[in-house]
Amino acid sequence: MTKSHPLLQLFFWLVMSIFAGSGMLMMAIYLYLAPTLPDTEELKDVELQTPLRVYSADGKLISEFGEKRRTPLTYAEIPPQFINALLASEDDGFFEHHGIDLKGLARAAFELIRTGRKKSGGSTITMQVAKNYYLSSEKTFARKFTEILLALKIEQSLSKQDILELYINKIYLGKRAYGIEAAAQVYYGKSIKELNLAQLAMIAGLPQAPSAANPVNNPRRALDRRNYVLARMRTLEMISAEEFDQAARAPVTARYHGATSEVVAPYVAEMVRREMVERYGDEAYTLGYNVYTTVDTNRQLAANRALQTGLLKYDRDHGYRLPKPMAPINTLDVAENPELEPWLSKADKAYDIDWPETLEQWDSILRDQDDMGLISPAIVRSVENDGAWIYQNNSERWLPFSGMLWAKPYVNVNIIGSEPEKPADLLSAGQRIWVEEGQDGLILAQVPEAEGSIVSLRPNDGAIQALVGGFSLGNNKFNRVIQADRQPGSAFKPFIYSAALANGFTPASIINDAPVVFEDASLENTWRPQNNSGKFYGPTRLRQALYKSQNLVSIRILKQVGPSRAVNYIEPFGFPRSKLNADLSLALGASAVTPMELATGYCVLANGGYAVDPYLISRIEDSNGNILFTATPRTVCRECEKPQSGTAEEQLSASELEQQLQQQLNPEEALPLAPRVMDERTHFLMISMLKDVVRLGTGKRALALNRDDLAGKTGTTNDQKDAWFSGFSPDLVTTVWIGFDQPKTLGRWAFGSNTALPIWVDYMGSALNGVPEHPFEQPEGIVSVRIDPETGLLATPGQSNAIFEYFKEEDVPSQPVKIAPTNGSGETELVPEQLF
């Protein structure tokens, strides 16, 4: 014993030296790293990166933007069963340790020494919080020591509940999902609170390998991990044997769910995104801004449907375009599969289709297709005598031949071929097609080549109620409402006529609709304008000329008013002066404007003569609900300009009128007054003429809405390159445009009245559903008198064909119609008084 004593002493001092050296080393590491540790108090005020979200006026989600999908939860909102699942898989001693698990770290160190490879990090949830919020993912000892020290510091500053809350909101769980609520939405399309035990265990198992082992990318591996979590929960007696058995047998129901949009309005969302980036830079994507737009959910959905329905109809009317792209069809070699021999026909003796592999590729092709609204992608599986079986959404569907009969081959924009005789004339196996849901089954479809747009504004303040910039944003991101400058044609004439009524013309003024030739240096060459019909109608009243859309009358009245004077009058309606041609081509709508600009101009006609500015964003909130911005649009206040009685001192000042408007419309925010740019009497005369466009003229299709408060104007440009209808009630203005992005004819039979107007009627029927009729009020100073319809002069007593016409009091004709001597038949002739 005495001989071994020195050895024991040596061993004792060796052990003590190791402990002392380790302690000194740890102290040195602590002294070196401690000054670099961040202040954990910052975690209490940390801002999680959350996406930009865009909502409709009634709070429905339109879209979200941002690299990270995240919806933060409080600890109280976390389902207890999920907490159990998470702790069972990640850190079952979380509520007992002080930030680090010594056994876990020792086990990880031993594995590293024994194998030379890192198998487990021994990290606690607190250590993962430290890494996620403060540290990089580099695998170094210095980073690991910093993580340990920071975890200890976090435990001293925050409660266990706070730490767990930070963890479940920060952790990456695959597919751009950060936090458990976002993961629940991504994989199941539900809130974490709505998931069952198997689904909660699936989410809890994701932190280990969120990209490689999530249920979308690798269902088999994700299932194994889920069952491991369930087994751990059973071992720790967090669930019963029955709960374990039921959850472990549950199938994998996860699939990818994109951002759950309640309102399809991609062009609106993109407009908001650009505005937010302009305001806040790249932080717009990460600080959790919530943007509330002026868009009305029901009107937006109606606009989507109306525009797509109209474009699909136009496309069907002009034939089916071939060929269509093909999808791959994989085959099996019979020589390698002799057991297939008895099942093959003579034609298939060499090969048969490998359907599992083929359908897997078809699924991938179909998933990659952009959303196209009313039409959806499909692939032809087989063609039969009376239809075709198509593959779509992991299942077969029947496309009857009756749904293909429209598909006469496209020859050119004016000619289509003969009706198909059998499905094989159009389709073949493997062909990629589009289909539309019809009342009697599927209908063959195709993505239209013609494009269009629709924009709807609230005329009293310019709030955008609905906006669709094309058939599909996925097909083309060009927003035709705000980016497409196109000639409006006759849809611009109401502004020319308004200028005329403001400068001495009346609805009864007679203009000679006759051939005219202009030689104008500003027009570069001789100009011989014509009416669309190619006919000339002679002396015509201004009212008739508008609802018949006679071009030569528009040119003559603009010549008399003067192009410069007309531009000065029209510009305040909302048209950029730089876009308005100061020459006679202005009369025919040759000045290119956007649909938004045209709709803005029509707001003046709808709201009583006031200029408003279109706007989309109603308010912006931060992630905590604090309001950062509220729109203050120029707003119509008819009461504010009514004559006031009393002395000058007793009358309200302009600022007091604005305060009055503030009290009437929004007591918390002052709203600027919309300025009057059109005299109320001129406005009334113009409205009465535009109502006749609907009642008697090119806008007759709008009579289908059975309302008496509608007015508007069609527009068709040269060679039918653009088709328009812009119309309104006092409560809503809507402009529809149809054309090709690269201007070319829509066809010889395409006009505003039969191409754009049906879309407008379809939309307005839904948009005004439940909105009572709102008649346009007749102002003081307007009188109605009987006139002769041929001359515009006062009718003679007892004249049988006399009509009533509206005039400003000072513009009532002073002379009755002149009675010429009787002609040979004994009848008197009326002599029209032509202006020129």
**Pairing relation of β-strands 52-55 and 290-293?**
parallel
Instruction: Confirm if 163 and 154 have CB atoms less than 8 A apart.
Output: yes
Q: Please, what's the b/e burial string for 515-537 (b: 16 or more CB within 10 A of its CB; e: otherwise)? A: ebebeeeeeeeeeebebbeeeeb
Residue 686 pLDDT greater than 80, yes or no: yes
Amino acid identity, residue 810?
Answer: E
Q: What are phi and psi of 341, to 5 degrees?
A: -50, -45
Q: How far is CA 555 from the centre of its chain?
A: 39
pTM of the model: 0.80
What pLDDT was estimated at residue 263?
94
Q: Find the mean pLDDT for residues 616-627.
A: 94
Q: How far is CA 305 from the centre of its chain?
A: 13
Instruction: Confirm if 284 and 277 have CB atoms less than 8 A apart.
Output: yes
Q: Find the mean pLDDT for residues 183-191.
A: 88
Q: Find the mean pLDDT for residues 42-69.
A: 79
Residue 336 pLDDT greater than 70, yes or no: no
What pLDDT was estimated at residue 91?
80
Task: Report how far residue 542's alpha carbon sits from residue 834's, in angstroms, rounded to the nearest whole number.
Answer: 12
Task: Report how far residue 815's alpha carbon sits from residue 807's, in angstroms, rounded to the nearest whole number.
Answer: 14
Residue 11 pLDDT greater than 80, yes or no: no
Q: Please, what's the b/e burial string for 10-36 (b: 16 or more CB within 10 A of its CB; e: otherwise)? A: eeeeeeeeeeeeeeeeeeebeeeeeee
490 is catalytic: yes
Q: How far is CA 512 from the centre of its chain?
A: 47
Burial of 818 (0-12, 13-18, 19+ CB in 10 A): middle
Residue 57 pLDDT greater than 80, yes or no: yes
What pLDDT was estimated at residue 217?
84
Confidence of residue 831 (pLDDT cuts 50, 70, 90): very low
Confidence of residue 610 (pLDDT cuts 50, 70, 90): very high
CA proximity to 75, closest of 5, 180, 156: 180
Provide Rg for the chain, Cα atoms: 37
CA proximity to 83, closest of 162, 98, 92: 92
Q: What secondary structure does DSSP assign to 36-69, as a single string? A: G---GGGGGG----B-EEEE-TTS-EEEEESSSB
CA proximity to 394, closest of 355, 360, 444, 429: 360
Confidence of residue 834 (pLDDT cuts 50, 70, 90): very low
Task: Report how far residue 523's alpha carbon sits from residue 421's, in angstroms, rounded to the nearest whole number.
Answer: 53
Task: Report how far residue 212's alpha carbon sits from residue 367's, in angstroms, rounded to the nearest whole number.
Answer: 20
Q: What secondary structure does DSSP assign to 224-252, as a single string? A: HHHHHHHHHHHHTTSS-HHHHHHHHH---
What pLDDT was estimated at residue 106?
53
Task: Report how far residue 484's alpha carbon sits from residue 469's, in angstroms, rounded to the nearest whole number.
Answer: 9
- 444: which strand partners? 435
pLDDT digits (tens, 9 = 90+) for 669-685: 578 999 999 999 999 99
Instruction: Confirm if 370 and 376 have CB atoms less than 8 A apart.
Output: no
What pLDDT was estimated at residue 382?
93
Q: Find the mean pLDDT for residues 563-568.
A: 96
Token readout for 617 is 């964003």
Maximum pairwise Cα distance, the chain: 160
Token readout for 57 is 């006026």
22 is catalytic: no
Residue 219 pLDDT greater than 70, yes or no: yes
Q: What percentage of the chain has pLDDT greater than the value 90?
A: 57
Helix (H, G, I), strand (E, B) or coil at 519: strand
Number of H helices, E strands in the chain: 22, 25
What pLDDT was estimated at residue 663?
52
pLDDT digits (tens, 9 = 90+) for 689-726: 999 999 999 999 999 999 999 999 999 999 999 999 99
Instruction: Confirm if 816 and 792 have CB atoms less than 8 A apart.
Output: no
Q: How far is CA 35 from the centre of its chain?
A: 51
pLDDT, the chain, mean: 84
Confidence of residue 741 (pLDDT cuts 50, 70, 90): very high
Task: Report how far residue 380's alpha carbon sits from residue 390's, in angstroms, rounded to the nearest whole number.
Answer: 4
Q: Where are the beta strands (DSSP E) in 664-794?
A: 711-716, 722-729, 732-739, 782-787
Lowest-confidence pick of 319-323, 518-522, 741-745: 518-522
Task: Report how far residue 457's alpha carbon sits from residue 602's, in angstroms, rounded to the nearest whole number.
Answer: 9
Q: How far is CA 142 from the centre of its chain?
A: 49
Which of 445 and 261 is assigned the larger pLDDT? Answer: 445
What pLDDT was estimated at residue 56?
97
pLDDT digits (tens, 9 = 90+) for 111-130: 544 555 555 555 787 777 76
Q: Which residues contact 740 (CB under 8 A, 6 or more apart)?
A: 449, 450, 451, 721, 746
Which residue matches tokens 């203009």?
511
Question: Between the CA of residue 158 and those of 82, 139, 143, 330, 469, what are the distances in Å?
Answer: 21, 26, 22, 59, 50
Question: What domains can you pick out in the chain, each with its CATH number?
Answer: 70-249 (1.10.3810.10), 321-445 (2.40.50.140)
CA angle 148-180-293, nearest 5°? 125
Task: Report how far residue 38's alpha carbon sits from residue 474's, in angstroms, rounded to the nearest whole number.
Answer: 45
Instruction: Confirm if 423 and 385 have CB atoms less than 8 A apart.
Output: yes
Task: Report how far residue 710's alpha carbon sits from residue 773's, in angstroms, rounded to the nearest whole number.
Answer: 9
Residue 299 pLDDT greater than 50, yes or no: yes
Residue 629 pLDDT greater than 50, yes or no: yes
Confidence of residue 620 (pLDDT cuts 50, 70, 90): very high
What pLDDT was estimated at residue 794?
93
Question: Residue 97: how many CB atoms within 10 A of its CB?
Answer: 18
Q: Find the mean pLDDT for residues 361-374.
A: 86
Q: Where are the beta strands (DSSP E) in 241-361?
A: 290-293, 331-333, 351-353
Task: Report how far residue 591's alpha carbon sits from residue 544's, in angstroms, rounded to the nearest whole number.
Answer: 24
pLDDT digits (tens, 9 = 90+) for 483-495: 999 999 999 999 9
Which of 201 and 394 is assigned the larger pLDDT? Answer: 201
Q: Find the mean pLDDT for residues 272-278.
A: 95
Token readout for 422 is 């059998």
What pLDDT was estimated at residue 93?
80
What pLDDT was estimated at residue 97?
75
Task: Report how far residue 801's alpha carbon sits from residue 798's, in angstroms, rounded to the nearest whole number.
Answer: 9
Residue 98 per-residue DSSP state: S
Q: Find the mean pLDDT for residues 311-327.
A: 94
**Pairing relation of β-strands 463-468 and 451-458?**
antiparallel
Token readout for 369 is 């297709």
Residue 268 falls in which region: left (phi positive, over 0), alpha (psi -120 to 50) or beta:
alpha
What pLDDT was estimated at residue 767?
98
- 351: which strand partners? 333
What pLDDT was estimated at residue 319?
96
Alpha helices in 429-520 (DSSP H): 480-483, 493-501
Selecting among 490, 509, 618, 753, the annotated active-site residue is 490
What pLDDT was estimated at residue 20?
55
Selecting among 64, 90, 165, 597, the annotated active-site residue is 90
Confidence of residue 341 (pLDDT cuts 50, 70, 90): low
Q: Find the mean pLDDT for residues 307-319.
A: 97
**Pairing relation of β-strands 375-384 and 432-438?**
antiparallel
Confidence of residue 736 (pLDDT cuts 50, 70, 90): very high
pLDDT digits (tens, 9 = 90+) for 59-110: 999 998 876 667 788 889 999 999 999 888 888 887 877 656 556 555 554 5
CA proximity to 376, closest of 398, 388, 392: 392
What pLDDT was estimated at residue 474?
78
Question: Residue 259: how many CB atoms within 10 A of its CB?
Answer: 16
What pLDDT was estimated at residue 649?
42
Confidence of residue 765 (pLDDT cuts 50, 70, 90): very high
Amino acid identity, residue 3?
Answer: K
Confidence of residue 648 (pLDDT cuts 50, 70, 90): very low
Residue 819 pLDDT greater than 90, yes or no: no
Residue 437 pLDDT greater than 70, yes or no: yes
Task: Report how far residue 545's alpha carbon sits from residue 507's, in angstroms, rounded to the nearest whole number.
Answer: 9
Alpha helices in 484-618 (DSSP H): 493-501, 542-547, 551-561, 563-570, 595-607
Instruction: Confirm if 53 and 290 have CB atoms less than 8 A apart.
Output: yes
